[in-house]
Amino acid sequence: MRVAVFNTKPYDRQFLNEANVAFGHELVFFEPRLDETTAPLAHGFAGVCVFVNDVVDAAVLAVLQAGGTRLLALRAAGYNNVDLVAAERLGIDVVRVPAYSPHAVAEFTIALLLSMDRRIPRAWSRVRDNNFALDGLIGHDLYGKTVGVIGTGRIGGIVARILKLGFGCTVLAFDQHEDPELHAIGVAYRPRADLIAAADIITLHCPLTPETHHLIDAEAIERAKPGVIIINTSRGALIDAEALIDGLKRGKVGGVALDVYEQEGDLFFEDLSNEIIQDDVFQRLLTFPNVLVTGHQAFFTVEALGAIARTTLANIADAEAGRPLAHRVAPETVSGIH
Ligand code: NAD
């Protein structure tokens, strides 16, 4: 299929081109995001391929349809940026990559926790400055700590296993669907409020839904243990960032590691090193010595990018051949994954 691929960085092009040897689609890469101003670039392309921050609302979809597009292929699991009702009305099928590498995100979660708590970025910048003092670098043993895992699906389940079997933590979990394999290794499911009250470390792996929006808020922080460490590699809006800052200022929260942030759409994936950042909440978060933030990179491994490229191109091949679309997203699909 002839496909207009929007919002591409060099790494997207590399992985898509490598995977495309097996498919032979005609991929034309565009650097800008898809939105109303760039949509005309897709004129004459049967397929359009986008990422999480492209704007695929009704107006954009109308331009795509008028230009002959009949397939929208998402290089991501989430589809909150797509007006699915408008896509269906316009006869544009939407496909996605439901799962690529839960290990990438789970392993990064542990890396972020250890890097923050053991102050590794701070230590490295000191050592490069010939400053070998240890003041301010003190961390904690993970062994023996109680970790609360909220959401024990693909990613949370792996995190729970690594912490339980690898580090010797006591692992508490909360999920509507209890995983018997986690039970079998000694993970204990608890009500969410009990988990929050008992955990030294809380790590979030549930999707963003109306129910989970700001699940870590002022009340949850109040209920938590003094010095609680909070990790979020899931979705930014699971945490009320202002309540988090208040908890950090009071010393109630002992450490925070984030790969996601509620307003990340204005910041992440771009080089803004010459810009003035207008988000005061984000800037305040960066001032704490016990906070570590990365820019939504937990998924970013060779394996995950390869899997995203292969599934995306297979989705396109299915559509072109008129086969059933295994990864089609319909308006009635209910999910909070972004
Ligand atoms: P998954 O669907 O396999 O697991 C999610 C789990 O959360 C399920 O077991 C579900 O039952 C549970 N859940 C749903 N509502 C809940 C609630 N209210 N409280 C507790 N648990 C609840 O998803 P996954 O593949 O493990 O992904 C988890 C999240 O990770 C995704 O929602 C996504 O936001 C995030 N993610 C982040 C990155 C990144 O690069 N940072 C990459 C991929 C996914």
Task: Using the Cα atoms of residue 101, residue 337, residue 326 and residue 41 in order, give the sign of their dihedral.
Answer: negative
Distance of CA 221 to the CA centre of its chain: 22
Q: What is the pLDDT of residues 239-258, one digit of tens each?
A: 999 999 999 999 999 999 99
* Position 65 pLDDT exceeds 80: yes
Question: What is the per-residue pLDDT for 335?
Answer: 46
Q: What is the pLDDT of residues 284-310, one digit of tens each?
A: 999 999 999 999 999 999 999 999 999
Annotated catalytic residue: which of 119, 205, 296, 327? Answer: 296
What are the C-alpha distances in Å from 275 to residues 31, 49, 160? 20, 29, 39
Question: What is the per-residue pLDDT for 143?
Answer: 98
Q: What is the pLDDT of residues 126-176, one digit of tens each?
A: 999 999 999 999 999 999 999 999 999 999 999 999 999 999 999 999 999
CA of 261 from ligand 1 middle (Å) equals: 15
Question: What is the per-residue pLDDT for 208?
Answer: 87
* Position 3 pLDDT exceeds 80: yes
Distance (Å, whole) CA 208 – CA 240: 13
CA of 150 from ligand 1 middle (Å) equals: 9
Question: What is the per-residue pLDDT for 81?
Answer: 87
Ligand 1 atom 31: residue of nearest CA? 207
Q: Which domains does the chain have, with CATH numbers?
A: 2-100+302-333 (3.40.50.720), 102-293 (3.40.50.720)
* Position 231 pLDDT exceeds 80: yes
The pick from 11, 96, 110, 155 for probing ligand 1's pocket by mutation, whose C-beta has the most ligand atoms within 8 angstroms, reads 155
The DSSP call for residue 285 is H
Q: What is the pLDDT of residues 42-61, one digit of tens each?
A: 999 999 999 988 999 999 99
Question: What is the per-residue pLDDT for 331?
Answer: 87
Strand partners of residue 74: 50
Q: Backbone phi, then psi, for 92, in 5-degree steps?
A: -105, 120
Q: Among residues of the chain, what percentage have pLDDT more than 90?
A: 91
Question: What is the per-residue pLDDT for 336?
Answer: 43
Q: What is the pLDDT of residues 5-36, one digit of tens each?
A: 999 999 999 999 999 999 999 999 999 999 99
Coil, strand, or helix at residue 149?
Answer: strand
What are the C-alpha distances in Å from 212 to residues 156, 172, 225, 285, 294? 15, 18, 20, 21, 22
Q: Which amino acid is at 255?
A: G
* Position 337 pLDDT exceeds 50: no
**Residue at token pair 């959401």:** 151
Ligand 1 atom 15: residue of nearest CA? 206
Question: What is the per-residue pLDDT for 333?
Answer: 60
Question: What is the per-residue pLDDT for 209?
Answer: 87
Q: Is 223 a catalytic residue?
A: no
Q: Is 303 a catalytic residue?
A: no
Residue from 192, 256, 195 nearest 227 by CA = 256
Ligand 1 atom 37: residue of nearest CA? 234
* Position 125 pLDDT exceeds 70: yes
Which stretch of 51-55, 109-113, 230-234 has the lowest confidence by average pLDDT?
A: 51-55
pTM: 0.91
- Name the pairing type of β-strands 146-150 and 170-174: parallel
What are the C-alpha distances in Å from 73 to residues 14, 50, 269, 277, 318? 18, 6, 20, 32, 11
CA of 71 from ligand 1 middle (Å) equals: 26
Which residues does 192 contact at the CB level (< 8 Å), separation at least 6? Answer: 150, 174, 215
Residues with CB under 6 A from ligand 1: 99, 102, 105, 150-156, 174-177, 205-207, 209, 211-212, 233-235, 259-260, 296, 298-299, 337-338
Question: Confidence band (pLDDT; 50, 70, 90) for 79?
Answer: confident
Q: What is the pLDDT of residues 172-214, one digit of tens each?
A: 999 999 999 999 999 999 999 999 999 999 999 998 889 999 9
* Position 92 pLDDT exceeds 80: yes
Distance (Å, whole) CA 86 – CA 152: 33
The pick from 108, 205, 212, 238 for probing ligand 1's pocket by mutation, whose C-beta has the most ligand atoms within 8 angstroms, reads 205
* Dihedral in degrees, nearest 10, Cα atoms 298, 300, 304, 306: 170
CA of 2 from ligand 1 middle (Å) equals: 33
* Position 334 pLDDT exceeds 90: no
Distance (Å, whole) CA 283 – CA 291: 11
* 300-303 LR contacts (CB < 8 Å, sep 24+): 300/104, 301/101, 301/104, 303/101, 303/103, 303/104
Distance (Å, whole) CA 89 – CA 76: 22
Ligand 1 atom 32: residue of nearest CA? 207
Which ligand 1 atom sits closest to the C-alpha of 297?
40
Question: Confidence band (pLDDT; 50, 70, 90) for 332?
Answer: confident
* Dihedral in degrees, nearest 10, Cα atoms 154, 158, 159, 162: 180
* Position 282 pLDDT exceeds 80: yes
Q: Is 213 a catalytic residue?
A: no
